[in-house]
Structure 1
Amino acid sequence: MKSISKFKRYTKVIQVLSRYGFAEVLDRILPSRERDNGAGAETDPQVPSGMYKRIRMAMEELGPAFIKLGQLLSIREDILPPELIAELRKLQDAVPPEPMDIKALLEEQFGIRTEEHFTVIEAQPFASASVSQVYAATLQDGSRVVLKVKRSDVEAVVNADVSIMKDLSLLLEKHYTSIRNMNLYRVISSFGLSVLKEMSFTAEAANIQNFRRNFKDDTRVYIPEVYEMYSNNEILCLEWVEGIKINDLEGIRAMQMDPRDIVTTGLDVYLRQILDFGLFHADPHPGNVFIDKKGRLIFLDFGSVGQLLPSDARILENMMINFVFRDPKGLIRNLKNIALAYSITNEKEFERDVEDLFAYVKELDLQQLMVRDIFDKLNKMLQTNRIVLPDAIYLLLRGVALIEGISKQLNADLNIYQSISPYVNKIAVKRLSFDNLKAYGLQQARSVLAIADMLPEVLATWMQQVKDQEGKNNADVAVRERMTRIYAGAGNKIAVSILAAALALATASMIPAAGPWPVQVWVSGGLTVLLVLVLLVMILRERR
């Protein structure tokens, strides 16, 4: 079934691309047999002449996977020209609803009689997109809900389309250097994983539960409840929430709220998602963020979320510190640490570019400082040095840019530099806290102890290398003796490091949550400090 679906979709894709004027590209990259699948499709004389506009229109016609790919690429200003970015941002995901018997579908999916569970189920959806459509309903207890229903066969189509995209990207990279430099195949492979996860209503329900748990004590935020009894991978039943869009300036004023407070809260909540939880809403546009009468931010649509590794979150914190304190070398170091790949041909020039960025920030009046301008300069540096960041970083940068766009619509004058400065202070306090230092020390100690597992094999390799020197001529004797001394010294330092790490681990585990420290802690801690000093002396002697 999947191969038939892919064959049919190949034909459709070739026909659509040909009609929008890309037959010449297809002739260059596709074997004649596959080109013939779409034979008969000629360029439509009615299509616009602009290439970027034709790309956008073709993606809209080809449906959900291509639309979502276009939306993803619209944030990749580091690899695409600005004119194409502008067109991709116009991509529309609104399509006519699919005829569907929602009551029959509910009964089939959950084995229920709808009249026993619902008093009202609207027959027509009030919203319709390429992946799903949404119905209003009311439960027997009077609770108003929304039913998000997946379109039929959408997953099979998207699976086929992602496979076709991968095929086409490989062919494009083979024939076009500019496409190869974009790492298009890697981008599409990553996109394929994310779009399938985004279409999973089971995953979206789990995302909602995680966000509800993260913000359960934050009175500024509200996340709608999931009704698990009526939710699975085909249907998602959610609490109905009332509110106005976050960019509704007149509505905000009517509720006597200050737009600047709303934008400041929005950015702070978003930073909490990123840095405190490592799980953030990847698409916080005005259609997904509302404000209720209590002034709370209501987040909707959790199909697309970004997730950060703890190590990446720490590097991001470092980069915020570098930005606030204008530390170019630190920013470059952390960019390298978080990058998936980079090719910096001129380190000095790269450092000068970063210094120019900081000078630009310093010279501007704080009210003139715009996130978009900073990102434009940063993207040029990324492109020049072929720095590839994790997908989550591009998503969060887009999220921050969307928040700044909302602030402009509300005339709230968001200044990113001023806004993140207090967060940097929080980071400093958090990192200097006893619990954090203890946790970080334990982590580093475990890392050192992990090296101990490899030590026997490493030492065996070293000894074998020494033995391999035996039997050679006398000219190699000095080299052999020097190698032996180096290995012996390194082995001693590793042994001392492992012992110090083990003592540090033991010390940390004995520290009580409250009250005075017992004698064992002081003894173990003292021995740890002593071993660290011994290690430092060994290193200094070796350098002499």
Structure 2
Amino acid sequence: MKRLSRILKIVQVFARYRLDTLFLGLALPWYVRCLFWVLPWRLFIPAKQPQAVRVRLALEALGPVFVKFGQMLSTRRDLLPDDLAEELKKLQDRVPPFSGPQAQGLIEKALEKPVSELFAEFEVEPMASASVAQVHKATMLDGSEVVVKVIRPGIGKTIRKDVDLLFSLARLVHVVWEEGRRLRPVEVVAEYEQTIFDELDLRKEAANGSQLRRNFENSDILYIPEIYWDYTRSNVLVMERIHGIPVAEVDQLNEQNTDMKALAERGVEIFFTQVFRDSFFHADMHPGNIFVSRNNPSSPQYIAVDFGIIGSLTPEDQSYLARNFLAFFKRDYRMVAQLHVDSGWVPADTNVDAFETAIRSVCEPIFEKPLKDISFGQVLLGLFQTARRFNMEVQPQLVLLQKTLLNIEGLGRQLYPDLDLWETGKPFLENWMKERMGPKGVYRSIKQQAPDWLEKMPHMPQLIFDSLNQIRNLDSARQRDIRAYQQAKDALESKASRRRNLGLMLIAGAIAVANPDVMEWLCELPASSWILAGVGIVLLLKRS
């Protein structure tokens, strides 16, 4: 019954915001187009606002699960038109908080103690609320200020139902719309499903935060709050409370004379450090999750929270990506095309010349602008969109990277409009490549692998002996296979020979029947000769 009411709610929102107009211009089967044309609300509800705006309003009306899906979808610019992606970025997670006493009960159940024994102070009224969880202020028994994050009760079941509906809609799009197959809607929903269900386990977020804190320990550019593991469970997370200025509050930053140029450049440095030094990057760096410390405005320090979405790259992806960036800004499009093939991001049989030409046609107009006006994120986006025309498979790790880069660049330009992201990032990339490929990198690699080599060294003689044995056995097996093949061939040839002999006998018999003299001679033969001849023919037929 609840499922039916949810479906009716979706139909109602679909009608109110005239989402049917999204499908009328598409290459759909004729019966689907006819269905959209005869929808009754077309006569009563006008579609006044732009399509992208109506999609955003519809998602907001459908609730937090669909809002988060729209937020995730806004990062998939390889799938969406630019106007729709920009509109979906405006989606806000405005969700009323649930009961404070109920939250307190959930915390006490998870930590198996009353809050009076867990905290010196605990504020029952939440300080912030989102679709999946809400946050309460508290003070530890030792006086440390913390925040307590608690998952909404029953949100798992709600998400499961809505995700199932999204899967149904995705499969429908896949079946009735040919272009929908290229966009792979089912895979998009599956990606969203994994992301949102990961957010329901706060232990994963806590582990991500702890790793980031270790990576930037004693750093003067990024601070990560401490996680209180003894007070953390799957549905409760206790973390150090931070005091900073939201990074989007530019007026407050200017009031305390923050060095905005340094702040913007440090944001870029944080991004490249996370991606290339650590291969572990905060992939949800929108303004709501980023703050600026009040301590030292002349040397500003970022503070990051909410570590539910983390990205990483393999060493191979790191290397190919760095070389792609460097080749791109040197306008070496041949290298960019070849790197895409070498990395396996596009099929090995891709026409590199045609791919190079396509990349050049997209990228050359960009370089007509001053370097500081070039959007690094848009460059990456254009590169991926071009590669998709050459059957580039969706690379989830690169999608997260693109999303993070767009967030960082947008944030940096908001803080300091003259930010030259390339000028800031290029030295970092070049130094990273030198360290990775140069003598220091080789030495470091040998040093890292030396313990494994030493551990395996005593086993090397036996491994070499076993390998030689296998090679010898392979030679023996090959000889056996050759002999078996020759025997089979001889048997087939013998069988064919017997069939030829039988054929000759039949021909001889036919000639004898046709020749009266031969027939007369055969008739004069004794009976024993005929018996022996019959037995011989039977045996010959059996062997054939």
Question: Is 2:334 the counterpart of 1:329?
Answer: yes
Q: 1:26 to 1:10 in 2, by over 3 A?
A: farther
Summarize deviations over 1:336-378 as a string: whole Å, max 9, x none.
Answer: 3555665987543320132345544544322322225424532
Percent sequence identity is 27
Q: 1:135 to 1:453 in 2, by over 3 A?
A: farther
C-alpha distance in structure 2 between counterparts of 1:432 and 1:185, whole Å: 40
Question: Is 2:122 the counterpart of 1:117?
Answer: no
The count of residues paired between Structure 1 and Structure 2 equals 462
Q: 1:471 to 1:67 in 2, by over 3 A?
A: farther
**SS in structure 2 of the partner of residue 141 of structure 1:** coil
Question: Is 2:71 the counterpart of 1:71?
Answer: yes
C-alpha distance in structure 2 between counterparts of 1:56 and 1:463, whole Å: 70
Deviates more, 1:209-218 or 1:319-328: 319-328
C-alpha distance in structure 2 between counterparts of 1:465 and 1:183, whole Å: 47
Q: Which residue does 2:272 correspond to in 1?
A: 271
**SS in structure 2 of the partner of residue 217 of structure 1:** coil
C-alpha distance in structure 2 between counterparts of 1:249 and 1:23, whole Å: 40
Query: Following superposition of structure 1 onto structure 2, how do residues 291-302 of structure 1 map, counting pairs within 5 Å?
Result: 291-294=292-295, 295-302=300-307
Identify the match of residue 308 of structure 1 among 309, 313, 326.
313
Question: Is 2:18 the counterpart of 1:21?
Answer: yes
Q: TM-score scaled by structure 2?
A: 0.74
Query: Following superposition of structure 1 onto structure 2, how do residues 182-197 of structure 1 map, counting pairs within 5 Å?
Result: 182-197=183-198
Q: Which residue does 1:525 correspond to in 2?
A: none
Q: Which residue does 2:51 correspond to in 1?
A: 51
Deviates more, 1:122-131 or 1:264-273: 122-131
**SS in structure 1 of the partner of residue 359 of structure 2:** helix
Q: 1:16 to 1:239 in 2, by over 3 A?
A: same
Q: Which amino acid aligns with 2:148?
A: L
Identify the match of residue 382 of structure 1 among 387, 393, 396.
387
Q: 1:59 to 1:467 in 2, by over 3 A?
A: farther
How far residue 72 of structure 1 moved from its aligned partner, in angstroms, is: 1.8
Q: 1:331 to 1:108 in 2, by over 3 A?
A: same
Question: Is 2:153 the counterpart of 1:152?
Answer: yes
C-alpha distance in structure 1 between counterparts of 2:54 and 2:335, whole Å: 43
**SS in structure 2 of the partner of residue 287 of structure 1:** helix
Q: 1:179 to 1:436 in 2, by over 3 A?
A: same
Q: Which amino acid aligns with 1:106?
A: I
Q: 1:257 to 1:359 in 2, by over 3 A?
A: same
What residue ranges of structure 2 are gaps of 5+ in the alignment? 454-459, 491-544
Q: Which amino acid aligns with 2:86?
A: A
Q: Which amino acid aligns with 1:159?
A: R
How far residue 268 of structure 1 moved from its aligned partner, in angstroms, is: 0.8
Q: Which amino acid aligns with 2:234?
A: N
C-alpha distance in structure 2 between counterparts of 1:460 and 1:260, whole Å: 72
Q: Which residue does 1:513 correspond to in 2?
A: none
Q: Which residue does 1:97 correspond to in 2?
A: 97
How far residue 211 of structure 1 moved from its aligned partner, in angstroms, is: 0.5
Query: Following superposition of structure 1 onto structure 2, how do residues 421-440 of structure 1 map, counting pairs within 5 Å?
Result: 421-434=426-439, 436-438=441-443
Summarize deviations over 1:284-309 as a string: whole Å, max 9, x none.
Answer: 12221111123221011111221223
Deviates more, 1:270-279 or 1:396-405: 396-405
Q: Which residue does 1:524 correspond to in 2?
A: none
C-alpha distance in structure 1 between counterparts of 2:54 and 2:235, whole Å: 33
Deviates more, 1:280-289 or 1:131-140: 131-140
Q: 1:10 to 1:278 in 2, by over 3 A?
A: farther
Identify the match of residue 417 of structure 1 among 410, 418, 422.
422
Q: 1:194 to 1:94 in 2, by over 3 A?
A: same
How far residue 473 of structure 1 moved from its aligned partner, in angstroms, is: 9.4
Q: Which amino acid aligns with 2:18?
A: G
Q: Which residue does 1:108 correspond to in 2?
A: 109
Q: 1:166 to 1:412 in 2, by over 3 A?
A: same
Q: TM-score scaled by structure 1?
A: 0.74
Query: Following superposition of structure 1 onto structure 2, how do residues 308-387 of structure 1 map, counting pairs within 5 Å?
Result: 308-338=313-343, 347-357=352-362, 359-360=364-365, 362-375=367-380, 377-387=382-392
Q: Which amino acid aligns with 1:270?
A: F
Contact 1:131 1:154 in 2 (8 A): yes
C-alpha distance in structure 2 between counterparts of 1:93 and 1:206, whole Å: 24
How far residue 25 of structure 1 moved from its aligned partner, in angstroms, is: 9.1
Q: 1:45 to 1:356 in 2, by over 3 A?
A: closer
C-alpha distance in structure 2 between counterparts of 1:167 and 1:343, whole Å: 34
Q: Which amino acid aligns with 1:401?
A: L
**SS in structure 1 of the partner of residue 288 of structure 2:** coil
Q: 1:171 to 1:142 in 2, by over 3 A?
A: same
Q: Which amino acid aligns with 1:222?
A: Y
C-alpha distance in structure 1 between counterparts of 2:46 and 2:120, whole Å: 49
Q: 1:134 to 1:42 in 2, by over 3 A?
A: farther
How far residue 385 of structure 1 moved from its aligned partner, in angstroms, is: 2.5
C-alpha distance in structure 1 between counterparts of 2:68 and 2:481, whole Å: 55
Q: Which residue does 1:531 correspond to in 2?
A: none
C-alpha distance in structure 1 between counterparts of 2:467 and 2:2, whole Å: 50
**SS in structure 2 of the partner of residue 119 of structure 1:** strand
Q: Which amino acid aligns with 1:385?
A: F
What residue ranges of structure 1 are gaps of 5+ in the alignment? 475-544
Q: 1:100 to 1:253 in 2, by over 3 A?
A: closer
How far residue 175 of structure 1 moved from its aligned partner, in angstroms, is: 0.7
Contact 1:118 1:140 in 2 (8 A): yes
How far residue 97 of structure 1 moved from its aligned partner, in angstroms, is: 1.5
Summarize deviations over 1:312-344 as a string: whole Å, max 9, x none.
Answer: 223222323323443323222332355566598
